[in-house]
Amino acid sequence: MAAFDINKYRQMFLEETQDLFETIDSILLEAESYGDMDSDTINSLFRAVHTLKGNSASVELAHFAALTHEIEFFMDKLRNGELAFEESMAELLIDSIDTLKHILELELKEELEYEHFLTTKINLLDRLSSYTENTQTQIEEQNEPLDTPAFGLLLPSAKGIYGAIDTSCNIDYNEAVELECDGDFFGFFDDDEDIKSTSKDDDSFGFFDDVEIDDDFFGLFDDANTSKDEEYFGFFDDNIVQKKPDIALIKNEEKSVSPKENTKSKVDTNANSSIRVDLSKIDTLMNSIGELVIAHSMLSQYTYMMNDQKIKSDLNERLDLIDRYIRELQEAVMSVRMIPMETVFSKFPKIIRDTAKRLNKKIDFRHYGDNVEIDKAMIEGLTDPLTHIVRNAMDHGIESIDKRKAAGKSESGTLLMSAEQANGQIIIKIQDDGGGINIEKVTAKALQNGIIDEAQASAMSDDDKAMLIFAPGLSTAEAVTDISGRGVGMDVVMSNIKQLGGDVKVETEQGFGSTFTIILPLTLAILDGLNVRVGAEQFILPLSSIIETLKPESSMIKQIGDEGSEVLMLREEFIPIVRLHSVFNVIPQNYKLIEGLLIVVRSGAKKIALFIDEFMNQQQFVIKPLDKNFRNAHGIGGATVRGDGTIGLIIDTMNITQNTNRRAS
């Protein structure tokens, strides 16, 4: 194997690839809807694909790179005018990009089978060549070198490898139509012998210099690639151009990095002066600021003990100044974590297009609030639930074209996505104009699955019933499709959003569509919480989970079973009581429920009532993980540093019930 850790670079590659794919997708989707592409667009498309190829080869994803090369080659023809853009090309290219993603996934997992790769490639070539019939011969010429998927860029940092190059083969495709490279001519990296044995099969390795494309593109091979090459047939017979590796070559490699950067800046004009920063570095910054805040409060505390009023007020004045700067610093660092919602929205046109195609529905997708900013750390957790809601809305919500016509609606369904910021929260809405949720059906299913009983059902409002779709194991889809309908999904949506400290609501109107509202805290790092006291200990309860607090009367409390499980009877509803002191092993002030307080909280789809002694103040807390240095604890979702520098524990209401369930069983 190569002498450097490829995975380190693959991570970088993947991040960049994600961006590139998004760029490519959005260009293609636009081209599809307009039915045309101007030369600038074609150029940026070409550059994106070209970068993709170069990057992938550099991280030894040979098969992926080979396929990318095919598409790049096709796009090059578009670019230099050999081919004229046709409307149907956009679809072909979108499909091709999907194929690429698929191959990339397999290759990364090392599950890519050679046969599968070959079939995929032949299919791709077939489709591409249907446009290039007249230039068929040229394609063949160009294709053959691609059977050696081993071209690549060496990352400049992988210096160790340069030294290992013995001899190299440089192939200029403009001249070399068919090539044969004898293994002796090539320079390889570690396992020379290995390579020689494979190269007996007339494999071709070497440097590519696509002068024609005008972008320098060079590749070096290592034995990982050559072992795959064994399976390729050698198409290359003569006209070999060989070069010993010399300084010029190495220079070229360095140069080859620059077109990559150029491409990026041209493709993504927003990113011309941005850098990629590891989130952990920002967390470190936040931590330091947190420390600064605590140090500051210690100092202000100290001034209270001073006797000299003059010094005291002078000092306080300066402390106030420092306080202001700390706040500014804090805001600045927080803003670094924030990225516009556009990043989230931009994923959807593609998903919606693909899903609409499969479902044979027409969807008009619109999004608002692109500039609303959201915590970067939240985006990962948000994409999956959003995708699920969108797919669900398209599959079950929006009706088929015929049904829509019959209902007097326009042929294409509308899907609206919006983001707004209000009251320190982010509100994301997904709205469809489909048939709405069939509440009777959902209720019937919930009754059948034992999620609710008759009494509960009759007490529920329509909105409550609609919320039942978030209960685990509930799917009303008559047919399970490959898009949605397995009944695992909406409950996952709920729990994912909960994990982000948010909440999901659904409103629906039969025949007119549904609106999903996701409410998220502005940032993952800060939480609104209520301090609750149990005995001598204080815990923090996330405000978003609290439904109501009450002082129970003895008539409201019922004992169930001989185990002494207690339930709270609240407006015809039975809510299990969880004694926080026994979950957290502390001595409470009150053992009798009527002497303390009950807080009704959401725990997943259910409600529970937590028994506490007293509730204290409400406050914002900076969340810190407990398991970074230690491990997670039952019923605890995280920790925070309180004003006095001690640690406060944040209650995880979901986790608490799991704990009590297990104890009961």
Partner 1 sequence: MSITQTNQLLTFKLGNETYGIEINKVREILTYPVVTPIPDASRWVKGVINLRGEVAPIIDLRIRFSINNEPIYNEQTIIIAVKTQDARMIGLVVDEVSDMENVEMDKLYPAPDMGTSIAPKYLKGLFKKDDKMIVILDIDKILDKEEMQHLSRHSNEVSLNVHTASA
Please state the closest distance from residue 534 (CB atom) to partner 1, in A. 10
Report the residue from 109, 276, 571, 631 that binds partner 1 according to the rule CB under 8 A: 631
- How many residues touch partner 1 under the rule CB under 8 A: the total is 33
Nearest by Cα to 399 from 426, 427, 438, 343: 438
Q: Does 625 bind partner 1 (CB under 8 A)?
A: yes
Specify the long-range contacts of residues 2-6, CB closer than 8 Å, at least 24 apart.
2/60, 2/158, 2/161, 2/189, 2/190, 2/222, 2/224, 3/158, 3/160, 3/161, 3/164, 3/189, 3/190, 4/158, 4/160, 4/161, 6/59, 6/60
Residues 6+ apart with CB under 8 A from 529: 540, 541, 542, 543, 618, 619, 620, 621, 640, 650
- Take residue 53 and report the two structure tokens written for it: 């190829």
Please state the closest distance from residue 639 (CB atom) to partner 1, in A. 4
Instruction: Mark the segment that binds partner 1 (CB under 8 A) among 44-52, 202-210, 550-558, 582-590.
Output: 582-590
Phi, psi of 649 (to 5 degrees): -100, 135
Continuous segment of H or E residues that includes residue 419: strand 413-422
Instruction: Mark the segment that binds partner 1 (CB under 8 A) among 80-88, 289-297, 369-377, 499-507.
Output: 289-297
* Crossing angle (nearest 10°) for helices 348-359 and 376-392: 20
Q: Does 639 bind partner 1 (CB under 8 A)?
A: yes
Residue window 522-551: x/- pattern of binding to partner 1, with contact defined by CB under 8 A: -------------xxx--------------
Q: Which is nearer to partner 1, 393 or 639 (CB)?
A: 639
Pairing label, strands 565-570, 636-641: unpaired
74-to-102, 131, 415, 636 alpha-carbon distances in Å: 19, 9, 34, 55
Please state the closest distance from residue 319 (CB atom) to partner 1, in A. 21
Q: Which is nearer to partner 1, 258 or 632 (CB)?
A: 632
Report the residue from 109, 276, 310, 628 that binds partner 1 according to the rule CB under 8 A: 628
Q: Which is nearer to partner 1, 87 or 627 (CB)?
A: 627
Please list the residues that pair with 518 across neighbouring strands.
428, 504
Please state the closest distance from residue 417 (CB atom) to partner 1, in A. 37
Report the residue from 649, 652, 653, 654 that binds partner 1 according to the rule CB under 8 A: 649
* Crossing angle (nearest 10°) for helices 348-359 and 6-34: 60
Please state the closest distance from residue 6 (CB atom) to partner 1, in A. 23
Q: Does 604 bind partner 1 (CB under 8 A)?
A: no
- Tell me the torsion sign for CA atoms 265, 266, 270, 272: positive
Q: How far apart are CA 468 and CA 119, in angstroms?
A: 45
Q: Which is nearer to partner 1, 388 or 624 (CB)?
A: 624
Report the residue from 157, 554, 555, 646 that binds partner 1 according to the rule CB under 8 A: 646
Q: How far apart are CA 539 and CA 541, in angstroms?
A: 7
Q: Does 665 bind partner 1 (CB under 8 A)?
A: no
Phi, psi of 558 (to 5 degrees): -120, 145
* Crossing angle (nearest 10°) for helices 62-79 and 87-108: 160
Continuous segment of H or E residues that includes residue 659: helix 653-664
DSSP state of 510: T
Q: Does 291 bind partner 1 (CB under 8 A)?
A: yes
Please state the closest distance from residue 652 (CB atom) to partner 1, in A. 12
The phi-psi region of residue 105 (left if phi > 0; otherwise alpha if psi is between -120 and 50; otherwise beta) is alpha
Q: Does 160 bind partner 1 (CB under 8 A)?
A: no
Report the residue from 320, 332, 645, 664 that binds partner 1 according to the rule CB under 8 A: 645
Q: Does 644 bind partner 1 (CB under 8 A)?
A: yes
Q: Does 287 bind partner 1 (CB under 8 A)?
A: yes
Q: Does 610 bind partner 1 (CB under 8 A)?
A: no
DSSP state of 147: G
Please state the closest distance from residue 585 (CB atom) to partner 1, in A. 5
Q: Does 636 bind partner 1 (CB under 8 A)?
A: yes
| Alpha carbon 303 to chain centroid, angstroms | 48
564-to-169, 529, 583, 621 alpha-carbon distances in Å: 81, 30, 15, 35
Instruction: Mark the segment that binds partner 1 (CB under 8 A) among 195-203, 314-322, 390-398, 642-650.
Output: 642-650
CB 411 within 8 A of CB 460: no
Provide the residue type at 453 as one letter: D
Q: Which is nearer to partner 1, 426 or 623 (CB)?
A: 623
Q: Does 585 bind partner 1 (CB under 8 A)?
A: yes
Q: Does 647 bind partner 1 (CB under 8 A)?
A: yes
- Tell me the torsion sign for CA atoms 96, 101, 103, 104: positive
Q: Which is nearer to partner 1, 109 or 662 (CB)?
A: 662
Report the residue from 80, 300, 346, 582 that binds partner 1 according to the rule CB under 8 A: 582
Q: Does 296 bind partner 1 (CB under 8 A)?
A: no
Q: Does 583 bind partner 1 (CB under 8 A)?
A: yes
Please state the closest distance from residue 625 (CB atom) to partner 1, in A. 7
Report the residue from 336, 586, 589, 590 that binds partner 1 according to the rule CB under 8 A: 586
Q: Does 66 bind partner 1 (CB under 8 A)?
A: no
Report the residue from 118, 140, 196, 290 that binds partner 1 according to the rule CB under 8 A: 290
Q: Does 616 bind partner 1 (CB under 8 A)?
A: no
Q: Which is nearer to partner 1, 411 or 644 (CB)?
A: 644
Instruction: Mark the segment that binds partner 1 (CB under 8 A) among 33-41, 205-213, 578-586, 609-617.
Output: 578-586
Q: Which is nearer to partner 1, 175 or 644 (CB)?
A: 644
Nearest by Cα to 329 from 385, 356, 290, 384: 290
Coil, helix or strand at residue 472? coil
Report the residue from 624, 652, 657, 660 that binds partner 1 according to the rule CB under 8 A: 624
Q: How far apart are CA 382 and CA 378, in angstroms?
A: 6
Q: How far apart are CA 37 and CA 45, in angstroms?
A: 10
Please state the closest distance from residue 564 (CB atom) to partner 1, in A. 14
Q: Which is nearer to partner 1, 175 or 291 (CB)?
A: 291
Q: Which is nearer to partner 1, 346 or 655 (CB)?
A: 655
Residues in the chain, overall count: 665
Please state the closest distance from residue 372 (CB atom) to partner 1, in A. 29
Q: Which is nearer to partner 1, 116 or 642 (CB)?
A: 642
Instruction: Mark the segment that binds partner 1 (CB under 8 A) among 25-33, 159-167, 183-191, 646-654.
Output: 646-654
Q: Does 171 bind partner 1 (CB under 8 A)?
A: no
Residue window 480-519: x/- pattern of binding to partner 1, with contact defined by CB under 8 A: ----------------------------------------
DSSP 245-310: --HHHHHHHHHHHHHHHHHHHHH-GGGTT-----HHHHHHHHHHHHHHHHHHHHHHHHHTT---HH
Please state the closest distance from residue 192 (CB atom) to partner 1, in A. 35
Positions touching partner 1 (CB under 8 A) are: 287-288, 290-291, 294, 535-537, 582-587, 624-626, 628-631, 633-636, 639, 641, 644-649
